[in-house]
Amino acid sequence: MGNHTIRTLPCRKAIVPIGGSTRRQFLTGSALAAGLALLQAKQNAFASTASGPIAPNDPIAVTKIETFVLKNSWVFVKLSTNAGITGWGEMLKDDAKACAAGALEVADYLLGKDPRPVVKHWQAIHRGSFYRGGPIKTAILSGIDQALWDITGKCYGVPVYKLLGGPTRDRVRVYGEPNEETGVNAMKVGPWAARKAFKYAEGQRFVDEVVERFSALKSSRPGVDIGLDFHGAVQPTTATLLIKALEPYHPWFYEEVVQALNVDVMAELAKKTHIPLATGERIFTKWGFREILEKKAAMILQPDVNYAGGITELKIIAGMAESYYAPLAPHNPNGPCSLAASLQIAASIPNFMVQERGDREHDLLAEPLPPVRDGYRPIPTGPGLGITIDEEKLMSEVGEPEPYRVQYDPDDGSVVDW
Residues 6+ apart with CB under 8 A from 407: 198, 415, 416, 417, 418
Three-class SS state of 187: strand
**62-161: which CATH topology?**
Enolase-like; domain 1 (3.30.390)
pLDDT of 92 reads: 86
Q: Is 331 designated active site? A: yes
Burial (Cβ within 10 Å: 0-12, 13-18, ≥19) of residue 98: middle
**Chain CA centroid to CA 396, Å:** 25
Which one-letter DSSP state was computed for residue 248? G
Closest CA to 174 of 13, 339, 32, 11: 339
Query: Residue 303 and residue 342: Cα distance in Å, rounded?
Result: 10
Query: Residue 75 and residue 91: Cα distance in Å, rounded?
Result: 5
| One-letter amino acid for residue 222 of the chain | P
The two most distant CA atoms of the chain are separated, in Å, by: 107
Architecture field, domain 167-389+402-412:
Alpha-Beta Barrel (3.20)
CA torsion angle 349 353 355 359 (round to 10): 120
- Domain(s) labelled CATH 3.30.390.10 in the chain stretch across 62-161
Q: Contact 156/54 with Cβ under 8 angstroms?
A: no
- Domain(s) labelled CATH 3.20.20.120 in the chain stretch across 167-389+402-412
pLDDT of 51 reads: 63
Query: Residue 347 and residue 168: Cα distance in Å, rounded?
Result: 5
Cβ atoms within 10 Å of 145's Cβ, excluding its own: 28
Is this structure's pTM higher than 0.95? no
- With vertex at residue 236, the alpha carbon angle to CA 235 and CA 238, rounded to the nearest 5 degrees, is 70
Q: What is the pLDDT along the chain (418 residues), one digit of tens a residue?
A: 333 222 222 333 232 233 344 444 434 444 444 444 544 444 444 333 346 789 888 999 999 999 999 999 999 999 999 999 999 999 988 899 999 999 999 999 999 999 999 999 999 999 998 889 989 999 999 999 999 999 999 999 999 999 999 999 999 999 999 999 999 999 999 999 999 999 999 999 999 999 999 999 999 999 999 999 999 999 999 999 999 999 999 999 999 999 999 999 999 999 999 999 999 999 999 999 999 999 999 999 999 999 999 999 999 999 999 999 999 999 999 999 999 999 999 999 999 999 999 999 999 999 999 999 999 999 999 999 999 999 999 999 999 999 888 999 999 999 999 8
Going from the C-alpha of 3 to that of each of 49, 62, 250, the distances in angstroms are: 10, 19, 51
pLDDT of 4 reads: 24
Query: Residue 36 and residue 39: Cα distance in Å, rounded?
Result: 5
390-398 long-range CB contacts below 8 Å, 24 or more apart? 390/363, 390/364, 390/365, 390/366, 393/363, 393/364, 394/68, 394/70, 394/76, 394/364, 395/68, 397/70, 397/71, 397/72, 397/364, 398/68, 398/69, 398/70, 398/71
Closest CA to 161 of 311, 319, 7: 311
Three-class SS state of 384: strand
Q: Which of 231, 250, 274, 362 is catalytic?
A: 231
Beta-carbon-side half-sphere exposure of residue 201 (alpha carbons within 13 Å)? 1
